[in-house]
Amino acid sequence: MSTAVVTFPGSNCDRDCALALREGLGAPAARAWHKDHELPPGTTSVILPGGFSYGDYLRCGAMAALSPIMAAVKRFADAGGPVLGICNGFQILCEARLLPGALLRNHDGLFHCEDAELEVSAGGAGMLMCFDRRQRITLPIAHGEGNYTADAATLDRLESEGRVAFRYVARDAQGNGAVNGAQRGIAGILGGPAGNVVGLMPHPERRSGAHLHGADGLVLLRGLVAAGQRPGEVRP
């Protein structure tokens, strides 16, 4: 049983994710390559890491969404397997239509690299089981295209179905994320047949131990690993 961390050309958080799993949690991590047609044997959860896959050509995540490994990730997700997309991984999940919506350039045109206070809006279930519902946590963000957008009907549906996983606490006058303009302050959402696919812009692997000034991110990674090992029985 291990967590597969996928590497696309241009991924740059893949080794950080594997390190956080191995050293932070003592959990096994396997590496998968974008050209692979299958996930590694024994994969029980998947991480699509941050970075700039395919140089962000065309649109962030657009090319990666069509790579061979993504067909395997889709099959895994459709079967209820836990998949976590971080930053560029979130963009890839949206481009692959495993999650609804899209991530636009930040509203102020700037790349933001800073800590963001978040509400774990869907805490208490699935891979977010280790969080309390609406627990506040802090994770670093580092993105130029994190302005989550979808049509109003999709946003309404995400909210009514409890599929807004994370929200930025700091909002502008319209209720959008102050840091990047994300509609309704959405920093991450969940989808898949059992809420088993989660995408978020912030980086949990960058807050995965005392040496990284906190472990809020490790709590998410622990939930991901646990969701793969004991579906429906995840405990903090």
Smallest gap from residue 233 Cβ to other proteins (A): 35
Smallest gap from residue 154 Cβ to other proteins (A): 8
Instruction: Name the E strands within 35-104.
Output: 43-48, 83-86, 102-104
Size of site (CB under 8 A) for other proteins: 20
Please, are residues 77 and 192 in contact by the beta-carbon 8 Å criterion? yes
Q: Is 130 a binder of other proteins (CB under 8 A)?
A: no
Tokens of 150: 């979808």
User: What is the pattern of x (binds other proteins, CB under 8 A) and - over residues 78-107?
Assistant: ----------------xx----xxx-xxxx
Task: Tell me how far apart the alpha carbons of residues 111 and 224 are, in angstroms, rounded to a whole number.
Answer: 28
Please, are residues 49 and 7 in contact by the beta-carbon 8 Å criterion? yes
Tell me which residue has tokens 């990730």: 73
Smallest gap from residue 92 Cβ to other proteins (A): 12
Q: For residues 30-59, which are near other proteins according to CB under 8 A?
A: 58-59
Task: Tell me how far apart the alpha carbons of residues 22 and 184 are, in angstroms, rounded to a whole number.
Answer: 35
Instruction: Calculate Rg over the CA atoms of the chain.
Output: 16
Q: Is 151 a binder of other proteins (CB under 8 A)?
A: yes
Q: Catalytic site residues?
A: 87, 203, 205
Q: For residues 156-195, which are near other proteins according to CB under 8 A?
A: 181
Tokens of 81: 């397997």
CA–chain centroid gap for 137, Å, is: 15
Nearer to other proteins, 1 or 58 (CB): 58
Q: Is 149 a binder of other proteins (CB under 8 A)?
A: yes
Nearer to other proteins, 103 or 120 (CB): 103
Q: Is 66 a binder of other proteins (CB under 8 A)?
A: yes
What distance, in Å, lies between the first and last C-alpha atoms of the chain?
A: 19
Name the residues that contact other proteins, by CB under 8 A.
58-59, 62, 66, 94-95, 100-102, 104-109, 147, 149-151, 181
